[in-house]
Amino acid sequence: MRIEGIWYKSGSSISIEVQGGKIVSRNPIPFKPNLPWLSPGFVDIQVNGYSGFDYSNPSLNSDHIKSIIRALAAKGTFYHCPTIITSPPSTIVNNCATIARAATNDRLIGKALCGIHIEGPYISSEDGPRGAHDPHFIRNPEYDEFSAWQDAARGMIKIVTLAPELPGALSFIERITQDGVIASIGHSAASPEVIRDAVKAGARLSTHLGNGSHSMVPRLKNYLWEQLADDELSASIIADGFHLPDAVLKVIARAKGLSRLILISDVAHLAGSPTGIAHWGSMEVEVHPDGHLGLAGTQFLAGAGHLLDRDLAQFIRATSVSVSQAVSLCTDNPRNLLGLRAVDLPKPGEAASIVAFNLSPSAPAIDIAHSLFEGEDMTTYAT
C-alpha cells in the first residue's frame, strides 16, 4: 500500500510505502493537488464508551474494550483514556481492574490505552454542574478510596475530574498530584476563590471547559472566567458544534492559547444509537436526530455523540486556525499533558500507525481516507 499526503506539521508532501503492516519506505514527493493530510493517530483523553459499549458498565470485558478501540481508530482516534464516570464503589474498582488486566494481556489494548480517567464521583450534585451523572453515587473525595482504585488499575489512573469545593477536595488534589495524577476541575459549582485554591493545590486541567455547568452564572465572578484566565490550567473542550457555540470556541482559543487546549470527544456508548429515549444507567438520555445526546426533558447535554473527526473539523471552521494547529490539539497537546513520547514522521521499519484525511470547508467532519494502527487497516471497523 502506498499512502501519499501532506504531513500536518511540516507541510511537506511525502509518500509512505507499507508492506505487511510495516513502513518500508518514506520519501518526499512533489506537491500534487488534492493530497490528503497525514498525521499520527489522535489522542482522546475522555472516552466514556462507544459502539454500544460503556466503560462504566459492570459487565465490561476485554472484547468490549477492543471493539471500542477499533471503532475509534476507524475515525482516526488511536489512543484514548477510558473514562469511568460516577458509579457505585464496586463498579469503579471492578472496571479499573478489568481495563488494567486487558491492557496487560492484549497488545493492541495496551498500545491504545494511555491511562484511565475517573470523572466523578467527587463532583457537584447541583443540576447543571452534575451533568448526566447519577446523583445517588456522588460523594466527597476520599484518598483511601482513590488508592483502592489505583491499586485495582495497576497505576493506570492518570486523570481525576472533581469539584474542588467539596469537603476534603483541596487536600485530595494535593495528594493525588504528589502521586503524579492530574487533578482536573470539572462538574463544579466552585467560587472563583476556590478555583484559585485548587490551582495552588496542584490542579492542572479543566475538564470540558464551559460544559458541566449551570445554565446561568454570575455575570463576572464565576468559575468559567476564573478557569479561562488561569495560565496554570490547560483546558479540554468539546468542539462538536453542540457543546460550545462558535463564538465561545473562538474566545476560549484566544484566551487560553492553543498550547493549553486539548480537543476531546466526551463520547458516550449511546453515540450512533437510534433517535429517541435511551438509558445510561438510571438516567434517561435523548438521542436527537442530529446525533447529539441530552438529558431527557432538559436543556442539559449527556456526554457526546460524535468523535474527534467531527471536533477537529468544527474547531477549524469556528476559529480559522490552520490544520497543523488544530491537529496538535488532539495529538501533541494531550501527549504533553500525559507525559507521552512525542510522535514525529513515521520511520521505515515501524509498524504503520498513520491517519490520512481530507478536509472540506462544508463537511461536518474530516473524511478519513486511510487509518492504519499498528499495521492494521482500521477503516474496516467503521460504524
Task: For residue 235, tell me if it sits in a domain.
Answer: yes
Question: What pLDDT does residue 13 have?
Answer: 97
Domain carrying residue 95: 41-344
Task: For residue 8, tell me if it sits in a domain.
Answer: no
Range 254-261 contact pairs with CB under 8 angstroms and sequence separation of 24 or more: 255/228, 255/229, 256/228, 258/321, 258/325, 258/328, 258/329, 259/333, 260/231, 260/233, 260/234, 260/235, 260/333, 261/234, 261/235, 261/236, 261/237, 261/329, 261/333
**pLDDT tens by residue, 69-87:** 999 999 999 999 999 999 9
Q: H-type helices in the chain, by residue range? A: 62-74, 89-105, 107-112, 143-152, 169-178, 192-201, 223-229, 246-256, 308-319, 323-328, 332-338
CATH of the domain at 90: 3.20.20.140
Nearest of 264, 263, 276, 246 to residue 303 by alpha carbon: 264
Task: For residue 15, tell me if it sits in a domain.
Answer: no
Give the C-alpha separation, 212 to 123, whole Å: 10
Task: For residue 206, tell me if it sits in a domain.
Answer: yes
Task: For residue 50, tell me if it sits in a domain.
Answer: yes
Judged against a pLDDT cut of 90, whether residue 302 lies above it is answered with no
Confidence category of residue 283, pLDDT binned at 50, 70, 90 = confident
Question: What pLDDT does residue 353 have?
Answer: 96
Q: In the chain, how many domains are there?
A: 1
Q: Please, what is the Cα angle at 22 between 20 and 26, to 5 degrees?
A: 125
Give the C-alpha separation, 264 to 272, whole Å: 17
Give the C-alpha separation, 234 to 237, whole Å: 10
Question: What pLDDT does residue 334 have?
Answer: 98
Mean pLDDT in residue range 99-125: 98
Judged against a pLDDT cut of 90, whether residue 97 lies above it is answered with yes
Task: For residue 371, tell me if it sits in a domain.
Answer: no
Task: For residue 30, tell me if it sits in a domain.
Answer: no
Mean pLDDT in residue range 114-121: 98
- Edge to edge, what strands does the sheet with 157-162 contain? 42-47, 77-85, 116-119, 157-162, 182-185, 205-206, 234-237, 261-263
Give the C-alpha separation, 261 to 237, whole Å: 7
Judged against a pLDDT cut of 80, whether residue 383 lies above it is answered with no
Helices then strands, each counted (H, E), the chain? 11, 20
Tell me the whole-structure pTM to 2 decimals. 0.96
Amino acid at site 25? S
Contact call for residues 45 and 330 (beta carbons, < 8 A): no
Task: For residue 309, tell me if it sits in a domain.
Answer: yes
